[in-house]
Every structure is written in structure tokens, then in C-alpha cells.
Homo-oligomer: A and B are copies of this chain.
Amino acid sequence: MALDTTHMDYFKQLLGEENAKIDSLHKLAYSYDATRESREPDMVLFPRDEKDISDILKYCNTHLIPIVPRGAGSGFTGGSIAADGGIVLALEKHMNKILELDTKNLIVRVQPGVINKDLQNFVESHGLFYPPDPASENQSTIGGNVSENAGGMRAAKYGITKDYVMAIRAVLPNGNIIRAGKKTIKDVAGYNVAGILIASEGTLAVISEITLKLIAKPKITRSAMGIFDTIENAMNAVYKTMASGVTPVAMEFLDNLTIRAVESKFNKGLPIEAGAILITEVDGNLEEEIQYQLKLIESRFKENGCVEFKVAKDSKEGQDLWFARKNASQSISIYGKKKLNEDITVPRAKLPELLEKIGEVSKRYGFKIPCFGHTGDGNVHTNVMVEDLKDLDKGHEAITEIFKIAVMLEGTLSGEHGIGLAKAPFMNLAFNEDEMNLFRSIKSAFDPNNILNPNKMGL
């Protein structure tokens, strides 16, 4: 149901005119995410606190008004876009405070609108460490990270957002405020509601506060790069290294197309003939640990066709090694106007087969498909590059093929971007009707009137 002026007046009264916007500038600014798809909401609301969220949701629930929670809008699948009008509930403006740093228990408590990198910097200034580092870390909010279960480069060793969420406060569509989880490492009282709110893409409740686990920051980190003649060798090296008893912080890769793209843009002297490069990082508190890990990685790499292994001498050289990886995404735009990027994930040992089959799709459809990403946890960013926009449908066919391959290899449609709008049409590749019906029952248990971020995730 669309908003009428009575509804708009209610919200203006509740939040003040400055926090209840219907002008075209606000509607445009809050209409899109990183997919670049744009759908305008009828109104943008800026709640000041949890009570505002509760009042807003209660009203929406009574009047059946769709409402979409939003952090920075940096998502890749349209999760924070209002699919069918209604309200965007923007949490980054007021609800962006770090509420408590508990150094005795290694815990931090934040509002959902805190930016990931701000949190990282804050806790690091106290000698602590919040590992999840999605590529969007400078923009994306912790609320968004939790809602999509964001990953990042360090996931190979340190896991993903879900591994750091201890407790959540959230507002249900009926306005009830609930607490889920505890400040304790263990808690088995009641259902794991925090666990199901993570990655629920704002469809079950609005998260109003998050308690996160921190760890002590390791004293030493060191980066290294391996150059491989073929991508198959590189992918074998990844899973054999990870299975051999060493757990690097990161184990990232760039394929030949990506290497060439970065080199053509930045002239960094990258090995443009290489089939792939792997960039890795290890950490620890002792130099001996660092050396032990690097030696193990080097020998696994070399056993698997690594033609050159370079260890960074210092953090400056380390940054140089990471430059190519950090600029991969923007560089590959040389291959086409439209980038259809997906973040399929497979069990690591299936990486060689995955990359081989993506190569076949590239040949069959005639698109360049540069790949890079988080091979340490089997997560590959595949980019179908469409040069001529009239080929977009064919591009989507290629993407569908790639999804089918991922599922066939016991993988998933998404390692970290979520489903949102963009991947909703593919849910039936991964889930059968019984499973989809269970998702719908869960949705209904939290949100019986279907007001919260409706029409997402293929529900």
C-alpha cells in the first residue's frame, strides 16, 4: 500500500520535519545501492533511537506500509532498495554511535549505523581487533554487515561477521523490542534468534544495537605473493595450502584477465603472462610463527607450480603486493560497459573445477569473465563483462550458467553479497520448494503482515 498524506503527516509529527523527508532529492539519494538499480521510496525516515524505530514499525504494521531498513546502501544485490515504494528507514544518520568498549571482556557495543572502518580504527586504537573487512569497509555499516553477513579478505583465518556477533537488540514489525544473544561466549537458553537475524537482509526485524566480540591484535603481519603459470595450479595450491595446517589471514587471487586489467591501468610491473597470482598474509605474535607459516605456504605453492614466491620486506612492500588485489574491481571495467558481478562460493577443493568451467562459459558465450577474490574460503568474484548493452540478456544467461555450476559443485549462490532483488530469480536453483516454504514460514513468524523489506530473497 502506498503512503497517503495522513501517514506522512504522522511521521513528520513523530520525528520532526528534518527526519521525515519526501522531497525528490532525498527520495533519489535513497533509491539505489551499489547495483545502481534505482527505485524511489515514498518517504525517507531518520529514526533517532530505538523507540522511534518501534513507533515507526508499529504504525507501518497497522497500516500495512512497506518499510526497508538501510545502512550505507553499499550492497551489491539491492537488499536496501524499496522494491515497491513505502518507506526507507535510514539508520546511518542518527544511529551511528559506538556505545561501549568493554576491554575487560573484549566486547564492543554499537548502533547499526556505525561504519565498519570507523569501528576497526576505534578498537585498534585500544590494541584490539575487529577482523571482518568487507571491500566496502569505508562505507558500509555494521548493521548492513550483519544483515548481509559480510565477509572480507581476512575471512580465511578470522571468519565472517557472524563469527563476531554476540548479541543483537532488534525491533519486530509489531514494534516489540527484543534482545537476542548475550555478552557471553556461550548461551544456549532459547532459540538462536541472533543467528537467524544475521544475513536476514532486513526482512525479519530492524536491528537497533549490536554487541560484537573483539580479539587482541596480533603484533606482526607479513604479506607474500605467488606467481603461477596456470590458474589450475594456483587453485590447487590454494586448497592444498589451506589443508596442510597453516591458516593464513588471507589467500586472495587474481586471474590473468584481472592482472592485465590492473597493469594496463596502473603500470605496476605485474606479471601479465601469469595464469594467476595468489596474494597472502600471515600474522602472529612471534617472528618464528611468521617464518613457519611463510615456509609452509612457499613449499605448498612451489609443489603446485608456483614459479615465483615473493615475501614483502616491510609494510610498504606489503601494500604494493596488495595494490593489485585492492584495485581489481575497478580495473576490469576496461572489458565492458556493464559488469555482472557475482560472488559464488564453493568448497575450496572444487576451485580448480569451478575456474575451468567458468572458462568454458566464457568461450561459449563470448564474454570476458575476469575472476578474482577470496579463494582462501572458496569465494570467487566472477565478473561477466558485457560490452554491448544489447547483449545483456545473454550476459544474464551466462550468469545463470555460472550459478548452476556453483550449485553443482556443492557451492552457494552467494558467499557475502546476499540475495536481495538481484539474485532472487536464482533461489530455485539452490533451494527446493519445501526449503523455500520453510523460509516463508520463518518470515511469517517474524513479520506476519509482510511489511519489512517485502519481495526480497525470492520469498
Chain A residues near B (Cβ < 8 Å): 102-107, 127, 148-149, 151, 155, 159-160, 162-163, 172, 176-180, 182-193, 195-196, 198-200, 204, 215-217, 239-240, 242-247, 284-286, 288-289, 292, 345-349, 374, 377-379, 410-419, 423, 427, 430-431, 434-435, 437-439, 441-446, 457
Contact across chains for A178 and B349 when beta carbons are under 8 A apart: no
With the chains together, A446 CA to B434 CA distance in Å? 12
Contact across chains for A243 and B103 when beta carbons are under 8 A apart: yes
17 examples of A-B residue contacts, CB within 8 angstroms = A104-B240, A104-B347, A105-B239, A106-B243, A149-B192, A176-B438, A182-B412, A184-B346, A185-B377, A186-B377, A187-B345, A190-B419, A191-B200, A193-B435, A193-B438, A286-B289, A286-B292
- Residues of B within 8 Å of A183, CB to CB, are 347, 410-411
- In the complex, which of the residues B149, B349, B441 contacts A105, with contact meaning CB atoms closer than 8 Å? B349
Contact across chains for B178 and A434 when beta carbons are under 8 A apart: yes
- Residues of B within 8 Å of A155, CB to CB, are 185-186
Min Cβ gap A6→B in Å is 28
- In the complex, which of the residues B105, B377, B427 contacts A190, with contact meaning CB atoms closer than 8 Å? B427
Residue of B nearest to A216 (CB): B245
Min Cβ gap A260→B in Å is 28
Residue of B nearest to A180 (CB): B435
Residue of B nearest to A219 (CB): B245
Residue of B nearest to A418 (CB): B188
- In the complex, which of the residues B199, B377, B416 contacts A192, with contact meaning CB atoms closer than 8 Å? B199
Residue of B nearest to A200 (CB): B191
With the chains together, A444 CA to B191 CA distance in Å? 13
With the chains together, A434 CA to B171 CA distance in Å? 11
Which 8 pairs across A and B sit closest by C-beta, in order of nearness? A195-B195, A216-B245, A104-B349, A186-B415, A185-B377, A441-B445, A445-B445, A176-B434
Min Cβ gap A125→B in Å is 16
With the chains together, A201 CA to B433 CA distance in Å? 25
Contact across chains for B445 and A188 when beta carbons are under 8 A apart: no
Min Cβ gap A315→B in Å is 20
- Which of A182, A240, A288, A430 has the most chain B CB atoms closer than 10 A to its own CB? A182
With the chains together, A223 CA to B175 CA distance in Å? 51
With the chains together, A160 CA to B188 CA distance in Å? 11
Contact across chains for A191 and B239 when beta carbons are under 8 A apart: no
- Which of A180, A412, A416, A417 has the most chain B CB atoms closer than 10 A to its own CB? A412
Contact across chains for B286 and A415 when beta carbons are under 8 A apart: no
With the chains together, A244 CA to B215 CA distance in Å? 9
Contact across chains for A199 and B188 when beta carbons are under 8 A apart: yes
- Residues of B within 8 Å of A457, CB to CB, are 190
A184-B412, A434-B176 known; A189 vs B377 contact (CB < 8 Å): no
Min Cβ gap A336→B in Å is 26
With the chains together, A85 CA to B349 CA distance in Å? 47
- Residues of B within 8 Å of A441, CB to CB, are 445-446
Contact across chains for B179 and A435 when beta carbons are under 8 A apart: yes
With the chains together, A438 CA to B204 CA distance in Å? 11
Contact across chains for A107 and B347 when beta carbons are under 8 A apart: yes
A106-B243, A244-B216 known; A187 vs B286 contact (CB < 8 Å): no
